[in-house]
Amino acid sequence: MLFSSLPFLLGFLPLFFIIYFTVKSRSARNIVLLIFSMVFYAWGEPFYIILMIFSIAINYYFAVFIDKSHQTQNQKNAKTLMIFSVIINLTLIGIFKYADFIVNIFTGIFGFEHIKIDIPLPIGISFYTFQILSYVIDVYRKKVPVQKNIFFIGTYLAGFPQLIAGPIVRYETIAHELEHRIENMDDFAVGLRRFTAGLAKKILIANTMAELCDNILLKYSDGLANSIGSIGMWFAIIAYTLQIYYDFSGYSDMAIGMGRMMGFHYLENFNYPYISKSVTEFWRRWHISLSTIFRDYVYIPLGGNRVKLMRWIFNMLIVWLLTGLWHGAAWTFILWGIYFGILLIIEKQFLSKNILKIPVLNRIYALSAFIFGWIIFRAESISHIGTILSAMFGKSGSGNLVELSQNGLIKPLHIIMLIIGIICFMPVSKKIKEYLEQNKNLIYIIDIASVIAVILCVIMLAQGAYNPFIYFRF
């Protein structure tokens, strides 16, 4: 079930909040949240609800036994349990997400026939596995207290706002709120506005950009290369650059908003990444929860930057190889991760002393780096990267904007949303919102805009608007 779907918006979410606020005790509300979260997950993956329950149970007991080992001063046993937890969780991801990729690497090496291992990928497995692993490791590190109530752990892991595509919520962020959160109308109103903003990002901007990008790439492959040309391909890639940002940040906004409506205060996951002046800054602003996971549980344990140069380069490449693999079992994702790893190394060693200090030039460099990265990310194969790049730089001519419009590949709505998307990835909307919030007589403008946005989103969904979601199966 997608947040940006009519069954969720008009059925699941209203029913949840009616029942949630009908019960009064904290334990009862957590159980309501847990039950609805299981229904939400089972809606799309009824069989894999067993995997979710297994993950909750096995990691709950690992954390409990690790805590008992700490109490008896048996640190060796605690470490062994933590390692087993990591192995089991990563094995599950390996089986469901990477089995086909790994097997076919070996069949290719030894010249055997391609073997198709058709195992459906459980929705959100990368997100919830990293989330529960961070909890177990933090219990081992004594950073967080162990949670003795298995239903609370289930609520933490399976909470439907962040279950499918993050943000990856660390246990320490909501440990107190699991048992002692306070819901109030102010938080509910703030959360509802945030949810609405995310919904508008997803439906109005991301979906429109997805239609523009996918249509052009598909038609280019179908033999319309000359009419599409470099103009059309640049439109497609810029559209994808906006799509992936508004798609993912929109989902995070909806998750953060729903959490706030329930009294949870999830951390921010995006902070206007496209205004960055370097790739280093970009990764401090983009998918912040994933970046901090890799920093705290991979990069720092490897030694971070407190090592010799060659070891630091090795650490960086390992982290970014794993980051690429986390996104998917394909050579394009591996290349994407290594690409950013190498760029970050070059920035640290060379560019930080010159290009990154030059105003305007640093932004042009950074934006070009992001866009090229998204080409790798979007490409269906390594060769497809070359196809896109050659089209962008004129292999099939400049293209024909009029013909693109006549063929319905570029519509007025696409241009309008592209312009709005470019404006809104800058902190303009944030400053307007802050101004309105500081003037209580004008706060109603936000609510009017929210109502209009919801109406437009419902209309588009009712008309069967294009509604993909990039991170749905990561």
Query: Using CA atoms, how far apart are residues 186 and 213, in angstroms rounded to an integer?
Result: 39
Tokens of 386: 């070359």
Residue 276: its H or E element: none
Query: Using CA atoms, how far apart are residues 80 and 470, in angstroms rounded to an integer?
Result: 37
Alpha-carbon distance values, 225 to 229, 231, 233 (Å): 6, 11, 9
Q: Which of 160, 141, 153 is nearest to 178 (CA)?
A: 153
Tokens 């004594």, residue?
Answer: 142
**Residue 221 CB partners (closer than 8 Å, separation 6+):** none
Vertex 84: Cα angle to 82 and 88 (nearest 5): 120
Per DSSP, helices labelled H in 262-399 are: 279-285, 288-294, 309-327, 331-349, 361-378, 382-392
Query: Using CA atoms, how far apart are residues 332 and 127, in angstroms rounded to an integer?
Result: 20
Burial (0-12, 13-18, 19+ Cβ within 10 Å), 402:
exposed
- Burial call 120-147: b when 16+ CB within 10 Å, e when fewer: ebbbbbbbbbbbbbbbbbbbbeeebebb
**Residue 325 CB partners (closer than 8 Å, separation 6+):** 98, 333, 334, 337
Residues serving a catalytic function are 327
